[in-house]
Amino acid sequence: MSAQPAFPPAASPEATCFSVHAPADASVMPRVMEVFAKRSLVPSRWYSTLDGPGGEELHIDIQVTGLEPGMSERLAKLLRQLVCVETVLTSHR
């Protein structure tokens, strides 16, 4: 007999994930956050790391829930236009 949880797991809302890669520069994170803040969007998760042999690469992983259809593509396009941003990848979960 297996134990069943008292409550079924709550369905988590769909999230759009953005992976932003840029050179390590102090101005990158506020510029990236501004793309979301201007639209009154608060990321549900934000995780950033310095990577590369000398810590010269900045990787930012962002999750935003509840976006309207088409908004993730518009946000990704805006992120790609930022100074210093090299790559923006998106996915949905």
Q: How does pLDDT run across 62-81, given as a tens digit for each residue? A: 999 999 889 999 999 999 99
Do 25 and 82 contact (CB within 8 A), yes or no?
no
| Domain regions of the chain by residue span | 21-92
Quick one: average pLDDT of 34-41?
A: 96
pTM of the predicted protein model: 0.83
Residue 90, both tokens = 């998106």
Q: What kind of architecture, by CATH, is found in domain 21-92?
A: 2-Layer Sandwich (3.30)
Quick one: average pLDDT of 24-39?
A: 96
Place of tokens 């979960």: 93
pLDDT reported for residue 44? 96
